[in-house]
Protein backbone atom coordinates (compact mmCIF):
# COMPACT_ATOMS: atom_id res chain seq x y z
CA UNK A 1 0.00 0.00 0.00
CA UNK A 2 0.74 3.62 0.25
CA UNK A 3 -0.30 4.53 3.73
CA UNK A 4 -2.43 7.35 2.44
CA UNK A 5 -4.63 4.81 0.76
CA UNK A 6 -5.64 3.81 4.16
CA UNK A 7 -7.57 7.00 4.15
CA UNK A 8 -10.21 4.56 3.06
CA UNK A 9 -9.69 1.88 5.64
CA UNK A 10 -11.74 2.99 8.55
CA UNK A 11 -12.16 0.97 11.69
CA UNK A 12 -15.25 -0.80 10.41
CA UNK A 13 -15.52 -1.70 6.79
CA UNK A 14 -19.13 -0.54 6.71
CA UNK A 15 -17.92 3.01 6.80
CA UNK A 16 -15.54 2.96 3.89
CA UNK A 17 -15.76 6.32 2.21
CA UNK A 18 -15.31 6.89 -1.47
CA UNK A 19 -12.85 9.69 -1.27
CA UNK A 20 -9.32 8.60 -2.15
CA UNK A 21 -6.45 9.88 -0.09
CA UNK A 22 -3.90 8.64 -2.58
CA UNK A 23 -5.17 10.45 -5.62
CA UNK A 24 -4.27 14.06 -5.10
CA UNK A 25 -7.26 15.16 -7.11
CA UNK A 26 -9.47 13.03 -4.92
CA UNK A 27 -9.12 15.37 -2.02
CA UNK A 28 -10.53 18.28 -3.95
CA UNK A 29 -14.20 17.79 -3.23
CA UNK A 30 -16.36 20.86 -2.87
CA UNK A 31 -16.54 20.51 0.88
CA UNK A 32 -12.79 20.20 1.18
CA UNK A 33 -12.20 23.15 -1.12
CA UNK A 34 -14.52 25.24 0.99
CA UNK A 35 -12.67 24.24 4.12
CA UNK A 36 -9.36 25.06 2.48
CA UNK A 37 -10.58 28.49 1.41
CA UNK A 38 -11.83 29.18 4.89
CA UNK A 39 -8.49 28.02 6.29
CA UNK A 40 -6.58 30.81 4.60
CA UNK A 41 -8.54 33.34 6.58
CA UNK A 42 -7.94 31.62 9.95
CA UNK A 43 -6.00 33.91 12.23
CA UNK A 44 -2.39 32.72 12.41
CA UNK A 45 -1.29 32.02 16.00
CA UNK A 46 1.53 34.22 17.24
CA UNK A 47 4.71 32.19 17.69
CA UNK A 48 6.36 34.48 20.17
CA UNK A 49 3.77 34.37 22.95
CA UNK A 50 4.21 32.38 26.13
CA UNK A 51 1.81 29.71 25.01
CA UNK A 52 2.15 28.73 21.38
CA UNK A 53 -0.65 27.07 19.47
CA UNK A 54 0.34 25.11 16.41
CA UNK A 55 -1.78 23.33 13.84
CA UNK A 56 -0.87 19.95 12.39
CA UNK A 57 -2.76 18.44 9.51
CA UNK A 58 -2.38 14.74 8.82
CA UNK A 59 -2.65 13.16 5.40
CA UNK A 60 -5.04 10.59 6.85
CA UNK A 61 -8.47 10.95 8.36
CA UNK A 62 -8.56 12.03 11.96
CA UNK A 63 -8.23 9.16 14.46
CA UNK A 64 -7.44 6.68 11.70
CA UNK A 65 -6.18 3.49 13.43
CA UNK A 66 -2.38 3.38 13.81
CA UNK A 67 -1.72 6.46 11.64
CA UNK A 68 -4.11 9.13 12.89
CA UNK A 69 -3.78 7.82 16.43
CA UNK A 70 0.00 8.18 16.13
CA UNK A 71 -0.42 11.84 15.18
CA UNK A 72 -2.80 12.32 18.10
CA UNK A 73 -0.22 10.79 20.45
CA UNK A 74 2.48 13.10 19.13
CA UNK A 75 0.30 16.15 19.70
CA UNK A 76 -0.81 14.95 23.12
CA UNK A 77 2.73 14.42 24.38
CA UNK A 78 4.01 17.71 22.98
CA UNK A 79 1.25 19.48 24.90
CA UNK A 80 1.80 17.51 28.09
CA UNK A 81 5.60 17.56 28.16
CA UNK A 82 5.73 21.28 27.39
CA UNK A 83 3.26 21.99 30.17
CA UNK A 84 1.02 23.65 27.62
CA UNK A 85 3.72 26.01 26.35
CA UNK A 86 3.28 24.42 22.94
CA UNK A 87 -0.05 22.86 22.04
CA UNK A 88 -0.71 21.21 18.71
CA UNK A 89 -4.22 20.96 17.34
CA UNK A 90 -4.69 17.99 15.01
CA UNK A 91 -6.69 18.19 11.79
CA UNK A 92 -7.51 15.26 9.55
CA UNK A 93 -6.58 15.19 5.87
CA UNK A 94 -8.68 17.76 4.00
CA UNK A 95 -9.87 19.61 7.05
CA UNK A 96 -7.69 22.66 6.35
CA UNK A 97 -6.20 21.95 2.93
CA UNK A 98 -6.52 18.90 0.68
CA UNK A 99 -4.59 15.97 2.17
CA UNK A 100 -1.80 16.00 -0.38
CA UNK A 101 -1.33 19.73 -0.12
CA UNK A 102 -0.34 19.38 3.51
CA UNK A 103 3.33 19.76 2.65
CA UNK A 104 2.69 22.96 0.68
CA UNK A 105 0.71 24.36 3.57
CA UNK A 106 3.54 23.62 5.99
CA UNK A 107 6.24 24.90 3.66
CA UNK A 108 4.33 28.16 3.16
CA UNK A 109 3.67 28.61 6.88
CA UNK A 110 -0.13 28.15 6.73
CA UNK A 111 0.41 25.18 9.02
CA UNK A 112 3.32 24.60 11.39
CA UNK A 113 3.28 20.80 11.19
CA UNK A 114 2.18 17.89 9.09
CA UNK A 115 2.02 14.13 9.52
CA UNK A 116 2.20 11.78 6.56
CA UNK A 117 4.55 9.46 4.73
CA UNK A 118 7.76 10.48 2.93
CA UNK A 119 6.86 9.08 -0.51
CA UNK A 120 3.90 11.43 -0.76
CA UNK A 121 6.42 14.20 -1.46
CA UNK A 122 8.44 12.47 -4.18
CA UNK A 123 6.89 14.76 -6.80
CA UNK A 124 8.55 17.67 -4.98
CA UNK A 125 11.81 16.02 -3.91
CA UNK A 126 12.47 12.62 -5.47
CA UNK A 127 14.77 11.50 -2.65
CA UNK A 128 11.90 11.49 -0.15
CA UNK A 129 10.71 8.13 -1.48
CA UNK A 130 13.97 6.55 -0.29
CA UNK A 131 13.45 7.89 3.24
CA UNK A 132 10.23 5.86 3.25
CA UNK A 133 10.35 2.13 2.74
CA UNK A 134 12.30 0.49 -0.09
CA UNK A 135 11.54 -2.94 -1.60
CA UNK A 136 13.91 -5.47 0.02
CA UNK A 137 15.56 -2.62 1.98
CA UNK A 138 15.79 -2.08 5.75
CA UNK A 139 13.30 -3.34 8.29
CA UNK A 140 11.96 -1.01 10.97
CA UNK A 141 14.61 -1.67 13.64
CA UNK A 142 17.38 -1.15 11.11
CA UNK A 143 15.72 1.94 9.67
CA UNK A 144 15.57 3.54 13.12
CA UNK A 145 19.22 2.60 13.75
CA UNK A 146 20.18 4.03 10.36
CA UNK A 147 18.40 7.29 11.16
CA UNK A 148 20.13 7.71 14.52
CA UNK A 149 23.54 6.10 14.02
CA UNK A 150 23.95 5.68 10.26
CA UNK A 151 23.66 9.26 9.10
CA UNK A 152 19.99 8.92 8.16
CA UNK A 153 18.63 11.80 10.22
CA UNK A 154 21.10 14.22 8.63
CA UNK A 155 20.19 13.00 5.15
CA UNK A 156 16.47 13.15 5.89
CA UNK A 157 16.88 16.70 7.19
CA UNK A 158 18.70 17.55 3.98
CA UNK A 159 15.86 16.10 1.88
CA UNK A 160 13.16 17.80 3.92
CA UNK A 161 15.23 20.96 4.01
CA UNK A 162 14.59 21.20 0.26
CA UNK A 163 10.91 21.36 1.22
CA UNK A 164 11.54 24.01 3.88
CA UNK A 165 10.95 21.51 6.66
CA UNK A 166 12.52 19.72 9.61
CA UNK A 167 12.07 15.93 9.57
CA UNK A 168 11.17 13.47 12.31
CA UNK A 169 10.35 9.77 12.09
CA UNK A 170 6.99 9.65 13.81
CA UNK A 171 5.66 6.13 13.49
CA UNK A 172 6.09 2.97 11.46
CA UNK A 173 3.80 0.19 10.32
CA UNK A 174 6.59 -2.39 10.33
CA UNK A 175 6.73 -4.87 7.46
CA UNK A 176 3.49 -4.97 5.54
CA UNK A 177 1.61 -7.95 4.18
CA UNK A 178 2.30 -9.24 0.67
CA UNK A 179 -1.28 -8.70 -0.42
CA UNK A 180 -4.54 -10.36 -1.38
CA UNK A 181 -4.54 -12.50 -4.53
CA UNK A 182 -7.11 -14.43 -6.50
CA UNK A 183 -4.41 -16.01 -8.67
CA UNK A 184 -1.60 -18.14 -7.34
CA UNK A 185 1.94 -16.88 -7.79
CA UNK A 186 4.09 -19.92 -8.47
CA UNK A 187 6.74 -18.34 -10.66
CA UNK A 188 7.81 -14.90 -11.78
CA UNK A 189 5.97 -15.65 -15.04
CA UNK A 190 2.70 -15.46 -13.13
CA UNK A 191 3.16 -11.69 -12.82
CA UNK A 192 2.83 -11.33 -16.61
CA UNK A 193 -0.49 -9.62 -17.18
CA UNK A 194 -1.47 -9.82 -13.52
CA UNK A 195 -3.80 -6.96 -12.78
CA UNK A 196 -2.64 -5.68 -9.42
CA UNK A 197 -3.21 -2.56 -7.43
CA UNK A 198 0.18 -1.77 -5.92
CA UNK A 199 1.49 1.81 -5.81
CA UNK A 200 4.97 3.28 -5.40
CA UNK A 201 8.30 1.51 -5.80
CA UNK A 202 6.64 -1.88 -5.28
CA UNK A 203 4.37 -1.11 -8.22
CA UNK A 204 7.38 -0.24 -10.38
CA UNK A 205 8.88 -3.64 -9.55
CA UNK A 206 5.66 -5.49 -10.40
CA UNK A 207 5.50 -3.51 -13.65
CA UNK A 208 9.06 -4.60 -14.45
CA UNK A 209 7.93 -8.19 -13.88
CA UNK A 210 5.23 -7.73 -16.54
CA UNK A 211 2.35 -6.91 -14.24
CA UNK A 212 -0.52 -4.69 -15.23
CA UNK A 213 -0.33 -2.21 -12.37
CA UNK A 214 -3.43 -0.18 -11.65
CA UNK A 215 -4.22 2.50 -9.16
CA UNK A 216 -7.64 2.50 -7.55
CA UNK A 217 -9.23 4.63 -4.87
CA UNK A 218 -9.45 2.60 -1.67
CA UNK A 219 -13.21 2.22 -1.71
CA UNK A 220 -13.18 0.68 -5.19
CA UNK A 221 -10.71 -2.05 -4.30
CA UNK A 222 -13.00 -4.64 -2.66
CA UNK A 223 -15.57 -4.66 -5.52
CA UNK A 224 -12.80 -4.67 -8.14
CA UNK A 225 -11.23 -7.68 -6.44
CA UNK A 226 -14.59 -9.43 -6.11
CA UNK A 227 -15.57 -8.87 -9.77
CA UNK A 228 -12.19 -9.90 -11.16
CA UNK A 229 -11.47 -6.41 -12.49
CA UNK A 230 -8.21 -6.80 -10.58
CA UNK A 231 -6.47 -10.05 -9.66
CA UNK A 232 -4.67 -8.79 -6.61
CA UNK A 233 -4.10 -5.86 -4.27
CA UNK A 234 -1.83 -5.05 -1.42
CA UNK A 235 -3.01 -2.90 1.47
CA UNK A 236 -1.25 -2.72 4.83
CA UNK A 237 -1.23 -5.68 7.18
CA UNK A 238 -3.67 -7.82 9.18
CA UNK A 239 -4.83 -4.95 11.47
CA UNK A 240 -6.03 -2.66 8.67
CA UNK A 241 -6.76 -5.42 6.15
CA UNK A 242 -9.18 -7.15 8.51
CA UNK A 243 -11.02 -3.89 9.13
CA UNK A 244 -11.18 -3.30 5.38
CA UNK A 245 -12.76 -6.71 4.80
CA UNK A 246 -10.44 -7.73 1.97
CA UNK A 247 -10.60 -11.38 3.04
CA UNK A 248 -14.13 -11.48 1.66
CA UNK A 249 -12.96 -10.90 -1.90
CA UNK A 250 -9.69 -12.82 -2.19
CA UNK A 251 -8.57 -16.43 -2.01
CA UNK A 252 -5.00 -16.06 -0.82
CA UNK A 253 -3.14 -13.79 1.59
CA UNK A 254 0.51 -13.70 0.50
CA UNK A 255 3.60 -12.92 2.56
CA UNK A 256 6.04 -11.31 3.11
CA UNK A 257 5.52 -7.66 2.14
CA UNK A 258 8.82 -7.39 0.27
CA UNK A 259 7.63 -4.10 -1.26
CA UNK A 260 7.26 -2.14 2.01
CA UNK A 261 9.38 -3.64 4.77
CA UNK A 262 9.14 -0.65 7.14
CA UNK A 263 6.76 2.09 6.12
CA UNK A 264 7.80 5.22 7.94
CA UNK A 265 5.46 8.04 8.95
CA UNK A 266 6.92 11.51 8.88
CA UNK A 267 6.35 14.54 11.05
CA UNK A 268 7.44 17.58 9.07
CA UNK A 269 7.73 21.00 10.63
CA UNK A 270 8.08 24.33 8.87
CA UNK A 271 11.75 25.30 9.34
CA UNK A 272 10.67 28.78 10.36
CA UNK A 273 8.41 27.36 13.08
CA UNK A 274 11.04 24.83 14.16
CA UNK A 275 13.71 27.50 14.48
CA UNK A 276 11.38 29.68 16.52
CA UNK A 277 11.37 27.02 19.27
CA UNK A 278 13.83 27.32 22.12
CA UNK A 279 16.02 24.31 22.95
CA UNK A 280 13.51 23.10 25.56
CA UNK A 281 10.62 22.91 23.10
CA UNK A 282 12.85 21.42 20.40
CA UNK A 283 13.75 18.65 22.85
CA UNK A 284 10.06 18.17 23.71
CA UNK A 285 9.20 17.75 20.02
CA UNK A 286 12.11 15.34 19.46
CA UNK A 287 11.21 13.13 22.41
CA UNK A 288 7.48 13.22 21.66
CA UNK A 289 8.29 12.00 18.16
CA UNK A 290 10.36 9.14 19.60
CA UNK A 291 7.35 8.30 21.75
CA UNK A 292 5.01 8.39 18.74
CA UNK A 293 7.48 6.40 16.64
CA UNK A 294 7.44 3.54 19.17
CA UNK A 295 3.72 3.92 19.92
CA UNK A 296 2.61 3.46 16.31
CA UNK A 297 4.79 0.40 15.80
CA UNK A 298 3.58 -1.07 19.10
CA UNK A 299 -0.02 -0.52 18.08
CA UNK A 300 0.55 -2.23 14.73
CA UNK A 301 2.39 -5.20 16.22
CA UNK A 302 -0.13 -5.82 19.00
CA UNK A 303 -3.09 -5.53 16.63
CA UNK A 304 -1.50 -7.38 13.72
CA UNK A 305 -0.86 -10.32 16.06
CA UNK A 306 -4.52 -10.46 17.05
CA UNK A 307 -5.93 -9.68 13.62
CA UNK A 308 -3.94 -12.38 11.84
CA UNK A 309 -5.25 -14.86 14.36
CA UNK A 310 -8.81 -13.67 13.59
CA UNK A 311 -8.28 -13.78 9.81
CA UNK A 312 -6.95 -17.34 9.90
CA UNK A 313 -9.00 -18.88 12.68
CA UNK A 314 -12.33 -17.07 12.30
CA UNK A 315 -12.40 -16.22 8.60
CA UNK A 316 -10.46 -19.21 7.28
CA UNK A 317 -7.98 -17.11 5.31
CA UNK A 318 -5.32 -19.12 3.45
CA UNK A 319 -1.80 -17.80 4.01
CA UNK A 320 0.69 -18.35 1.22
CA UNK A 321 4.37 -17.54 1.04
CA UNK A 322 5.77 -16.15 -2.21
CA UNK A 323 8.05 -18.93 -3.53
CA UNK A 324 11.77 -18.22 -3.12
CA UNK A 325 12.19 -18.23 -6.90
CA UNK A 326 9.64 -15.43 -7.16
CA UNK A 327 11.20 -13.39 -4.35
CA UNK A 328 14.64 -13.83 -5.89
CA UNK A 329 13.34 -12.54 -9.21
CA UNK A 330 11.52 -9.61 -7.63
CA UNK A 331 14.62 -8.76 -5.57
CA UNK A 332 16.75 -8.50 -8.70
CA UNK A 333 14.16 -6.38 -10.46
CA UNK A 334 13.87 -4.16 -7.38
CA UNK A 335 17.63 -3.60 -7.46
CA UNK A 336 17.47 -2.47 -11.08
CA UNK A 337 14.38 -0.30 -10.78
CA UNK A 338 15.56 1.45 -7.62
CA UNK A 339 19.12 1.88 -8.87
CA UNK A 340 17.85 3.43 -12.12
CA UNK A 341 15.58 5.85 -10.27
CA UNK A 342 18.30 6.92 -7.85
CA UNK A 343 20.91 7.43 -10.54
CA UNK A 344 18.73 10.16 -12.08
CA UNK A 345 19.03 12.42 -9.04
CA UNK A 346 22.14 13.22 -6.97
CA UNK A 347 20.32 13.61 -3.65
CA UNK A 348 18.47 10.30 -4.16
CA UNK A 349 21.79 8.67 -4.95
CA UNK A 350 23.37 10.09 -1.79
CA UNK A 351 20.52 8.77 0.37
CA UNK A 352 20.47 5.39 -1.29
CA UNK A 353 24.25 4.93 -1.08
CA UNK A 354 24.03 5.39 2.66
CA UNK A 355 21.20 2.85 2.92
CA UNK A 356 22.97 0.33 0.69
CA UNK A 357 26.03 0.50 2.93
CA UNK A 358 24.03 0.12 6.14
CA UNK A 359 21.95 -2.72 4.70
CA UNK A 360 25.03 -4.67 3.65
CA UNK A 361 26.12 -5.11 7.27
CA UNK A 362 22.58 -5.35 8.64
CA UNK A 363 21.77 -8.44 6.57
CA UNK A 364 24.69 -10.37 8.04
CA UNK A 365 23.78 -9.50 11.61
CA UNK A 366 20.02 -10.04 11.22
CA UNK A 367 20.62 -13.58 9.97
CA UNK A 368 22.37 -14.63 13.19
CA UNK A 369 20.22 -12.57 15.58
CA UNK A 370 16.54 -11.71 15.07
CA UNK A 371 15.89 -14.04 12.13
CA UNK A 372 17.56 -17.02 13.81
CA UNK A 373 15.70 -16.29 17.04
CA UNK A 374 12.31 -16.17 15.29
CA UNK A 375 13.03 -19.50 13.62
CA UNK A 376 14.28 -21.13 16.84
CA UNK A 377 11.25 -19.97 18.81
CA UNK A 378 8.76 -21.76 16.61
CA UNK A 379 10.49 -25.15 16.65
CA UNK A 380 8.20 -27.95 17.88
CA UNK A 381 8.68 -27.76 21.65
CA UNK A 382 6.21 -27.03 24.40
CA UNK A 383 6.97 -23.71 26.03
CA UNK A 384 5.53 -22.51 29.33
CA UNK A 385 2.26 -24.12 30.44
CA UNK A 386 0.52 -22.40 33.35
Task: Determine which residue in the list 148, 186, 314, 318 makes contact with a second copy, applying CB under 8 A.
Answer: 148
**35: burial class by Cβ within 10 Å (0-12, 13-18, 19+)?**
middle
Shorter beta-carbon distance to a second copy: residue 229 or 366: 366
Shorter beta-carbon distance to a second copy: residue 41 or 48: 48
Q: Residue 368 interacts with a second copy (CB under 8 A)? A: yes
Q: Which stretch binds a second copy (CB under 8 A): 60-68, 114-122, 200-208, 304-312?
A: 304-312
Q: Residue 277 interacts with a second copy (CB under 8 A)? A: no
Alpha-carbon distance of 267 to 260, in angstroms, equals 19
Task: Determine which residue in the list 33, 141, 214, 347 makes contact with a second copy, applying CB under 8 A.
Answer: 141
Residues 43-102 that bind a second copy (CB under 8 A): 77, 80-84
Q: Residue 381 interacts with a second copy (CB under 8 A)? A: yes
Q: How far is the CB of 63 from a second copy (least distance, A)?
A: 17
Q: Residue 329 interacts with a second copy (CB under 8 A)? A: yes
Q: Residue 327 interacts with a second copy (CB under 8 A)? A: yes
CB 191 within 8 Å of CB 209: yes
Task: Determine which residue in the list 186, 256, 318, 346 makes contact with a second copy, applying CB under 8 A.
Answer: 256
Q: Residue 334 interacts with a second copy (CB under 8 A)? A: yes
Number of C-beta neighbours around residue 264 at 10 A: 25
Shorter beta-carbon distance to a second copy: residue 216 or 292: 292
Q: Residue 41 interacts with a second copy (CB under 8 A)? A: no
Shorter beta-carbon distance to a second copy: residue 15 or 357: 357
Alpha-carbon distance of 87 to 79, in angstroms, equals 5
Alpha-carbon distance of 26 to 21, in angstroms, equals 7
Task: Determine which residue in the list 95, 142, 204, 231 makes contact with a second copy, applying CB under 8 A.
Answer: 142
Q: How far is the CB of 384 from a second copy (least distance, A)?
A: 5
Number of residues this chain uses to bind a second copy (CB under 8 A): 100
Q: Which stretch binds a second copy (CB under 8 A): 60-68, 99-107, 159-167, 285-293?
A: 285-293
Shorter beta-carbon distance to a second copy: residue 60 or 77: 77
Q: How far is the CB of 28 from a second copy (least distance, A)?
A: 36
3-state secondary structure the chain: CCHHHHHCCCCCHHHCCCCCCCCHHHHCCHHHHHHHHHHCCCCCCCCCCCCEEEEEEECCCCCCCCCHHHHHHHHHHHHHHCCCCEEEEEECCCCCCCHHHHHHHHHCCCCCEEEECHHHHCCCCCCHHHHCCCCCCCCHHHHHHHHHHCCHHHHHHHHHHCCCEEEEEEEECCCCCCEEECCCCCCHHHHCCCEEECCHHHHHHHHHCCCEEECCCHHHHHHHHHHCCCCEECCCCHHHHHHHCHHHCCCEEEECCCCCCCCEEEEEEEHHHHHHCCHHHHHHHHHHHHHHHHHHHHHHHHHHHHHHHHHHHCCCCEEEECCHHHHHHHHHHHHHHHHHHHHCCHHHHHHHHHHHHHHHHHHHHHHHCHHHHHHHHCCCCCCCCC
Shorter beta-carbon distance to a second copy: residue 12 or 340: 340
Task: Determine which residue in the list 3, 144, 267, 270 makes contact with a second copy, applying CB under 8 A.
Answer: 144
Q: Which stretch binds a second copy (CB under 8 A): 47-55, 141-149, 189-197, 264-272?
A: 141-149
Q: Which stretch binds a second copy (CB under 8 A): 118-126, 169-177, 186-194, 199-207?
A: 169-177
Task: Determine which residue in the list 48, 279, 316, 344 makes contact with a second copy, applying CB under 8 A.
Answer: 279
Shorter beta-carbon distance to a second copy: residue 20 or 142: 142
Q: Residue 347 interacts with a second copy (CB under 8 A)? A: no
Residues 218-237 that bind a second copy (CB under 8 A): 237
Amino acid sequence: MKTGDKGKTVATEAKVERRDFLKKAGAGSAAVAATAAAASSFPKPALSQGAMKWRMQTTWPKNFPGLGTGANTLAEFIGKASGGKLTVEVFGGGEIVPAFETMDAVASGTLEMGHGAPYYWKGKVAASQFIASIPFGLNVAEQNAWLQFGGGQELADKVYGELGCKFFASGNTGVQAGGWFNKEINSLEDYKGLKMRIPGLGGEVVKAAGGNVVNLPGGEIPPALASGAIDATEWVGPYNDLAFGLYKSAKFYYYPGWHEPATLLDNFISLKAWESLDSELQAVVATANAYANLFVLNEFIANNNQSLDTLVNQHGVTLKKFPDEVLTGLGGLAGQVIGDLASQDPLSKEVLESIVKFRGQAIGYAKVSEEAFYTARRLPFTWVQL
